[in-house]
Amino acid sequence: MENLIYLDNNATTRVDDKVLEAMLPYFKEEYANPSSMYDFAKHSGRAIFEARGIIKDFFNAANEKEIIFTSCGSESANMAIRGVLNMNKNKKHIVTTKVEHACVLNLYQTLEKEGYTVDYIGVNSNGEIDLAQLEDAIHFDTALVSVMYANNETGVIFPIQKIAEIIKRKNPQTKFFVDAVQVAGKIPIDVQELGVDLLSISGHKFHAPKGVGALYCNSKTILTPLIIGGHQERGKRAGTENVPYIVGLAKAAEIATDFLKYESTEVKRLRDKLESGILKNIYNARLNTGAAYRVPNTTNIGFEYIEGELILLHLSDLGICASSGSACTSGSLEPSHVLRAMNVPFTAIHGSIRFSLSKYTTEKDVDYVNEVLPGIIEKIRLISPYQDELAELKKLKNM
């Protein structure tokens, strides 16, 4: 689409041209099944071998055998969680957070029906995890602690290394799974330094295509497979390997490593410019995460006393893509579970918008959003039923 300003990179990203280029031969010339015996298959087998080495380095894992290729972040998470629990059937307790992605939370709701007890750890008003509550929750029966690395809606980063230390202190037998889908390509991942047992990523969040992911599972952790069948992935995940996509994932990981510095400087600078522009020029805007430590590309801003969906529609008319924390369920707008866990005031929760940038975001994109957004918000404010409250807010902010 011409004149598109894409600020929804936490939802998905554009495939990098170099990633696509690396994948193409594996659709056309090198299409052999890597399990086949003839020489022709050696090329695709070699491609998977090399990709595994690249992902091992991307995670700083100790061994290639600790990498399992999957179809997405959701599959990686389901495999980690079910796999660990199946191997520890006598333990029935899990600790997680209230702000996990649906692929984790909905699985825990299912597991509760299957007899597991799950403790959901809360966050403060900036979205930071309550470590004391987490420490209290872990006990002798805890099979698994599962915590995301960064939140998809707010970008807030959780202190994974500290959590790993708490787990070791409270119950060294407890396994630790980290959903790292929203940090891959944004900050470095070092599974050994973090001290995690399992960690998941998804290609489409860092410029690989949709339909490929990976799971790190350290050599001390044994998993039952989620998909049973052939011997692929050392018997841990059956199904003929998706060679082009695995090649694409590895290429994206290589490129992402080279871009980490750019993410932490240039992408962050543009995010901060967008954020400060909005907060400076729009009196009913509030930064939902306060001073919390975040990934460099994400900002979540609440526009008080107006509806987020209306903002998105106006932005969309101008070719600007962002997202709101609300999910439209059965005709009613249910505010996001993440913002609810943070106790974002009701005045702002329905008007919260996430902007997520990438290496493709330009200065021009950010300047344009900063130019048009105040007018959009003004238009929507005029039809808000909260005119007295808005006038009060305007006075308070001296604007």
Which is it for the CA torsion 131, 137, 143, 144, positive or negative?
Answer: negative
Q: For residues 201 and 390, which CB has a smaller minimum distance to ligand PLP in the complex?
A: 201
- Measure the CA–CA gap between 134 and 186, rounded to whole angstroms: 26
- Annotated active-site residue 328? The verdict is yes
Regarding 344 and contact with ligand PLP (CB under 6 A), the answer is no
Q: For residues 104 and 143, which CB has a smaller minimum distance to ligand PLP in the complex?
A: 104
Least distance to ligand PLP, CB of residue 242, Å: 13
Candidates 50-58, 68-76, 89-97, 132-140; binding stretch for ligand PLP (CB under 6 A): 68-76
Applying CB under 6 A, the site for ligand PLP has a residue count of: 13
Amino acid 142 reads T
Regarding 70 and contact with ligand PLP (CB under 6 A), the answer is no
Q: In the bound complex, which residue of the shown chain has the CB atom lying closest to ligand PLP?
A: 73
The two three-digit tokens of residue 201, written as one number: 């990523």
| Residue pair 105/79 in contact by the 8 Å Cβ criterion | no
Least distance to ligand PLP, CB of residue 305, Å: 28
Candidates 69-77, 128-136, 214-222, 271-279; binding stretch for ligand PLP (CB under 6 A): 69-77
Binding to ligand PLP, residues 35-64 (CB under 6 A): none
- Measure the CA–CA gap between 69 and 192, rounded to whole angstroms: 19
Q: For residues 218 and 298, which CB has a smaller minimum distance to ligand PLP in the complex?
A: 298
Look at residue 241 and give its three-state secondary structure.
coil
Regarding 335 and contact with ligand PLP (CB under 6 A), the answer is no
Q: Binding residue for ligand PLP (CB under 6 A) from 74, 146, 300, 370?
A: 74
Strand partners, 179: 148, 200
- What residues contact residue 280 under an 8 Å CB cut-off, 6+ apart? none
Look at residue 337 and give its three-state secondary structure.
helix
DSSP state of 4: -
Least distance to ligand PLP, CB of residue 34, Å: 23
Look at residue 243 and give its three-state secondary structure.
helix
Mark 80-119 with x for binding to ligand PLP (rule: CB under 6 A) and - for no binding. Answer: ---------------------x-x----------------
Candidates 67-75, 245-253, 267-275, 374-382; binding stretch for ligand PLP (CB under 6 A): 67-75
| Residue pair 144/150 in contact by the 8 Å Cβ criterion | no
Candidates 24-32, 57-65, 66-74, 345-353; binding stretch for ligand PLP (CB under 6 A): 66-74
| Helix ranges (DSSP H) in the chain | 17-23, 40-59, 73-87, 102-113, 131-137, 160-170, 191-194, 243-262, 268-281, 308-317, 337-341, 346-349, 363-382, 387-396
Binding to ligand PLP, residues 195-234 (CB under 6 A): 202, 204, 213
Binding to ligand PLP, residues 117-176 (CB under 6 A): 148, 152
Q: Binding residue for ligand PLP (CB under 6 A) from 9, 30, 44, 73?
A: 73
Strands of 19-123, DSSP E: 67-70, 93-97, 117-121
Amino acid 343 reads N
CB atoms within 10 A of CB 294: 22
The two three-digit tokens of residue 178, written as one number: 């980290």
Q: For residues 214 and 255, which CB has a smaller minimum distance to ligand PLP in the complex?
A: 214
Q: Binding residue for ligand PLP (CB under 6 A) from 5, 22, 54, 72?
A: 72
Q: Binding residue for ligand PLP (CB under 6 A) from 154, 174, 182, 326?
A: 182
- Measure the CA–CA gap between 331 and 182, rounded to whole angstroms: 29
Q: For residues 202 and 370, which CB has a smaller minimum distance to ligand PLP in the complex?
A: 202
Estimate the crossing angle of helix 102-113 against helix 73-87, to 10 degrees: 30
In the set 72, 103, 217, 328, the catalytic residue is 328
- Measure the CA–CA gap between 361 and 7, rounded to whole angstroms: 8
> Which positions touch ligand PLP (CB under 6 A)?
72-74, 101, 103, 148, 152, 179, 181-182, 202, 204, 213
Give me the active site residues, please.
Answer: 328
